[in-house]
Amino acid sequence: MHPSVVQNAQFALETRNLEKRFKKKRNEYSHALKSVSLSVERGEVVGILGPNGSGKSTLVRVLSTLTLPDAGEVEIFGMDAVKHPREVQRYINRVSVEASFFKKLSSMENLIFGAKLYGVSDRESRPRIRTILESIGFDFARVNEPMEHLSRGMQQKIALARALLTSPMLMLLDEPTTGLDPRSKKDVQALIRSIRADHESSILLCTHDMGEAEELCDRIGILLNGELIALDTADGLKRRYQQDGQLPSLEEVFMLATGTTLEEAEFAGDDDKDAKDKENAKEPVAA
């Protein structure tokens, strides 16, 4: 793929009528994504707000080429992500709450290995690793401990550090602050702001934290049961759902748009979450 395609692309990410289904029982399928169309402009932070089981993680896996869609189109910097997955992977990095590591190895060993996969040598990566870890509040004295000895929050910081080592043009963040203590959460949110400012990255942030979405994102989409119900700025969403001249809060916007609260949707979504979470073991369903 010629570099000019990437340089001239208007959008960092664009999907059109994206569909993904998983088999639940014989001749019965669960729709994880239903005709999802969205875009992320270069340098933009777009949030996808939804409860567990809404399809956020499936969306990130499809965008990062880990899962094939059943229908629709995905373009990353103008490249077809289904036809050219290896080219696309050079420009993206995914951070998931379920990030995979070699748990017997140390944080440093995992990060050096991750950097090598992107062609970054030990000599280059070691000072960068220290700088990045210190910037996100990771206790560098523990960098040589096995990953299995670290808390979930500390492992999440290592996942973010691994993504930053490669200076990605597009970051796909799937619940990056879930499981973090309040201080670590603020550290990570500050880091997300600096990623865009310092690295000129485009970011898709999936979260169920409304405050986080409103604080960090240029635009916010509401995803429920695999459907993108709305996508606009926080102010735009509030204006769209205002009643009697009063602007609602983002929590009230979610309720007006979906007919339920985020907490109620979280509870209802748990019933269908298991089927969507088995995507590693599922083959794509024919469209």
Integer Cα distance of 227 and 204 in angstroms: 17
DSSP state of 102: -
More confident residue, 268 or 247: 247
The pTM score is 0.85
pLDDT digits (tens, 9 = 90+) for 87-129: 998 899 888 766 678 889 999 999 999 888 878 888 888 998 9
For every residue of 173-207, DSSP letters joined together read EESTTTT--HHHHHHHHHHHHHHHHHH--EEEEEE
State phi, psi for 45 to the nearest 5 degrees.
-110, 115
- C-alpha dihedral sign at 267, 268, 270, 271: positive
Q: Residue 99: what pLDDT?
A: 65
Place of tokens 């959008």: 11
The two three-digit tokens of residue 87, written as one number: 């080219």
**Residue whose C-alpha is closest to residue 270's, from 7, 53, 10:** 53
In order of start, what are the domains of the chain with their CATH numbers?
A: 1-29+49-91+169-180+208-280 (3.40.50.300)
pLDDT digits (tens, 9 = 90+) for 203-220: 999 998 999 999 999 999
CA angle 49, 55, 59 (to 5 degrees): 90
Place of tokens 């960092």: 12
State phi, psi for 159 to the nearest 5 degrees.
-60, -40
Q: Residue 173: what pLDDT?
A: 93
Place of tokens 């490669």: 166
More confident residue, 14 or 160: 14
Mean confidence (pLDDT) of the chain = 85
pLDDT at 20 over 60: yes
pLDDT digits (tens, 9 = 90+) for 127-140: 989 988 887 778 89
pLDDT at 25 over 90: no
